[in-house]
Amino acid sequence: MQICYFLKNYATKSKKIRIMKKLIIITLIITCFSCNSNAQKTKKDSKTYSVTKTEAEWKAELSPMAFYVLRENGTEPRFSSPLNKNYKEGIYVCAGCNTALFKSEHKYDSGSGWPSFDKEIKGNVAFSSGSEMYGREEHCAVCGGHLGHVFNDGPKETTGLRHCIDGAALKFIPKNE
């Protein structure tokens, strides 16, 4: 009888242990994922950029959409930016700090609804890690402002890359100005 009780108890115990193990694994997976995004965030936040401002300063300077994109990693609605269909000659600078980020000669119509470029101005655009499927995040190397994502479905005849940029994060400076 006692053995029976022991076996029953043992069986319940091992079942409990199995459930506990599953719970621990699930918790670990969740923790891992949240750690990953936190780690990325911390990494970006802790990096010092040559142009650094407080949230209040950025908010006072930027349009609400530019603040949402640049400082809060937001995405503007598709086809909302007047720069999406802008094909004039000139340069695209960061709306936060005026750093030159993209040239008009590298702009093309991707049909995505966001200004698209096949090449950035090297050194002025920085990239965070990210999956290929969702694109690597890209931001201004000078102020850290979020710009958009880069994908591998760009024009094959050039770089094969599509820098999908929020127009709100950019300012266009025509060539003769």
**141 binding Zn ion? (CB under 5 A):** no
Dist CA 62 CA 11 (whole Å): 64
In the numeric block, the tokens 């750690």 are attached to: 35
Of 83-91, 99-107, 128-136, 156-164, the segment contacting Zn ion by CB under 5 A is: 99-107
Residue 23 sits at φ, ψ, to 5 deg, of -60, -40
Q: Tell me the closest approach of the beta carbon of residue 43 to Zn ion, in angstroms.
A: 18
Tell me whether residue 4 is one of the annotated catalytic residues. no
Closest separation in Å from C-beta 63 to Zn ion: 15
Q: Which of 142, 147, 150, 168 binds Zn ion (CB under 5 A)?
A: 142
Task: Tell me if 140 contacts Zn ion by CB under 5 A.
Answer: yes
- Contact of 81 with 166, CB cutoff 8 Å: yes
In whole angstroms, what is the distance from residue 96 CA to residue 169 CA? 7
Contacting residue, 143, 150, 168, 169, with Zn ion by CB under 5 A: 143
Smaller CB separation from Zn ion, 96 or 115: 96
Q: What element of type H or E holds 28?
A: helix 2-46
165 binds Zn ion (CB under 5 A): no
Going by C-alpha positions, the residue among 142, 149, 24 that lies closest to residue 76 is 149
Q: Which two tokens stand for residue 171?
A: 């300012």
Which residues are marked as active site? Answer: 164
**Residues making contact with Zn ion (CB under 5 A):** 94, 96-97, 99, 140, 142-143, 145
